[in-house]
Amino acid sequence: MTLSGKRILLIISGGIAAYKSLDLIRRLRERGAEVRPVMTAGAQQFVTSLAVGALSASHVYTELFSREDEQDVGHIRLARECDLVVVAPATADLMAKMANGHADDLASTILLATDRTVLVAPAMNPKMWTHPATRRNRATLAADGIRFVGPASGEMAESGEAGEGRMAEPLEIVAAIEDLLTGAKPLGAKPLAGRKAIVTSGPTHEPIDPVRYIANRSSGKQGHAIAAALARLGADVTLVSGPVTIPDPAGVRVVRVERAEEMRDAVVAALPADVAVMVAAVADWRVASAAGNKIKKRPGEAPPPLQLAENPDILKTIGHHASRPKLVIGFAAETENVAENGRAKLERKGADYILANDVSPATGIMGGDSNRVKLIGRDGKEEWPEMAKDEVADKLAALIAAKLLP
């Protein structure tokens, strides 16, 4: 248990993301942490102190001027009798109070009185997050030594607006807490530490001759985001990427390839692994025998015929490999019967999950920044709302971490 004996003072402020704090409490306690919750008046509009108290198995502190609470521990002891103060979710208002040293309720008073490290997980509407006032407050807090986790980008629960402002997922907050409390990434400090992941991304280029090739419109954004999300949770990631124009994600090993056969060889060479996520848009066919020299256009001659040969199916190869990873995940880019085709693909390719998405041109998904997927597993399917590709990546990485939990 990575957080055995650690005491966390969790301040919950008033945002819809407060519901995720219930999961956060559960995850922290699973890891051996003791959680003492403080709720603002706003937080109690979103989740009840009864639920928070039951999950944390602790008294829930809500009032600054409560005679019993003050006699029992008092706000100064509350602020100091812990190893870490975590604010999740942190609203724009609470961040403003912190930045300006206000102390007009129990949460803000504790934050002013504490001498412990404070980790903040902001959650707010994207316009509020990018407002110059919030940016100033955030800079002030960072300069004061306050640590941040998130926010992520994605669709807002209440307004459907997309942008940066969603609270980091509970497992990401747990990983940040483990980092702060147990030092620099010891084994097990992050949910995927010590785990190996292979991710494919981007298109493949299948040469016709030395200067021409067959390609597709994949940008690599989704695959790269998944590689980055897995690395953030501590995984040792090998990203096998076809030709893309986006930058390499931080903290991953990148193997660059062009052709499907090269991609297959690189993926097989990266085995064994705990999880493989095959996101690349691998060309189904290659030119049977690519010309060694540039094919010349000769006046009066008919255009050369292109004889195609089938490419190896990398996902299927991995799904049926003798050293098959524990989790094998594929994508299914479909333009019709998305769920049905996804399920058939799951069976055929020996995958555990298929993320099926509708890539018909009207959706703008291919090459775009957002994605709408159906997660199809052996035990059923789940529809995810449209969200940023980064957010899909975080959600998938959290799922992978949960599935690989010892």
CA distances from 90 to 138, 150, 368, 389 (A): 11, 11, 30, 24
Looking at residue 362, what DSSP letter applies?
Answer: G
Among 118, 173, 257, 315, binds ligand C5P (CB under 6 A): 315
Is residue 371 among the annotated active site residues? no
Amino acid in the structure at residue 14:
G
Among 169, 274, 313, 358, binds ligand C5P (CB under 6 A): 313
Distance CA 393, CA 137 (A): 28
Shortest CB 333 distance to ligand C5P, Å? 6
Choice between 47 and 277, CB closer to ligand C5P: 277
Among 314, 356, 399, 401, binds ligand C5P (CB under 6 A): 314
Q: Which stretch binds ligand C5P (CB under 6 A): 21-29, 167-175, 297-305, 326-334?
A: 326-334
Shortest CB 249 distance to ligand C5P, Å? 17
Is residue 304 within 8 Å of residue 290, measured between CB atoms?
A: no
Burial class (CB in 10 A: 0-12, 13-18, 19+), 108: buried
Shortest CB 332 distance to ligand C5P, Å? 5
Among 129, 148, 213, 331, binds ligand C5P (CB under 6 A): 331
Q: Select from 220, 251, 252 the least CA-distant residue to 239.
A: 252
Q: Which of residues 260-289 bind ligand C5P (CB under 6 A)?
A: 260, 278-280, 282
Task: Supply the angle between the helices 106-113 and 92-100 in degrees, to the nearest 10.
Answer: 40
> Could you tell me which residues are beta bridge partners of residue 396?
none
Q: Which stretch binds ligand C5P (CB under 6 A): 109-117, 168-176, 310-318, 390-398?
A: 310-318
Shortest CB 98 distance to ligand C5P, Å? 44
End-to-end CA distance of the chain: give it in Å, rounded: 11
Distance CA 349, CA 352 (A): 9
Residues 212, 213, 216, 220: is their CA dihedral positive or negative? Answer: negative
In sequence order, the 6+-apart residues with CB closer than 8 A to the CB of 363 are 357, 372
Is residue 35 within 8 Å of residue 29, measured between CB atoms?
A: yes
Q: Is 330 in the site for ligand C5P (CB under 6 A)?
A: yes
Looking at residue 301, what DSSP letter applies?
Answer: P
Shortest CB 274 distance to ligand C5P, Å? 18
Each residue 74-93 as x (binds ligand C5P by CB under 6 A) or -, in order, gives --------------------
Q: Which of residues 146-185 bind ligand C5P (CB under 6 A)?
A: none
Choice between 159 and 335, CB closer to ligand C5P: 335
- Number of neighbouring beta carbons within 10 Å of residue 158: 8
Find the DSSP H helices in 153-285: 170-182, 221-232, 260-269
Paired sense of beta strands 196-201 and 275-278, if any? parallel
Q: Which stretch binds ligand C5P (CB under 6 A): 44-52, 58-66, 118-126, 307-315?
A: 307-315
Choice between 78 and 260, CB closer to ligand C5P: 260
Shortest CB 242 distance to ligand C5P, Å? 10
Q: Which of residues 199-258 bind ligand C5P (CB under 6 A)?
A: 200
Q: Is the peptide bond before 299 cis (omega within 30 degrees of 0)?
A: no
Q: Which stretch binds ligand C5P (CB under 6 A): 14-22, 119-127, 132-140, 312-320?
A: 312-320
Is residue 341 within 8 Å of residue 334, measured between CB atoms?
A: yes
Choice between 87 and 282, CB closer to ligand C5P: 282
Query: How many residues form the binding site for ligand C5P (CB under 6 A)?
Result: 14
Q: Which of 216, 337, 341, 357 is catalytic?
A: 216
Shortest CB 20 distance to ligand C5P, Å? 29
Choice between 194 and 207, CB closer to ligand C5P: 207
Shortest CB 316 distance to ligand C5P, Å? 7
DSSP string, 85-130: EEEEEE-HHHHHHHHHT--SSHHHHHHHH--S-EEEEE---HHHHH
Among 91, 108, 134, 311, binds ligand C5P (CB under 6 A): 311
Q: Interface residues with ligand C5P (CB under 6 A)?
A: 200, 260, 278-280, 282, 311, 313-315, 330-332, 345
The residues that are catalytic are: 216
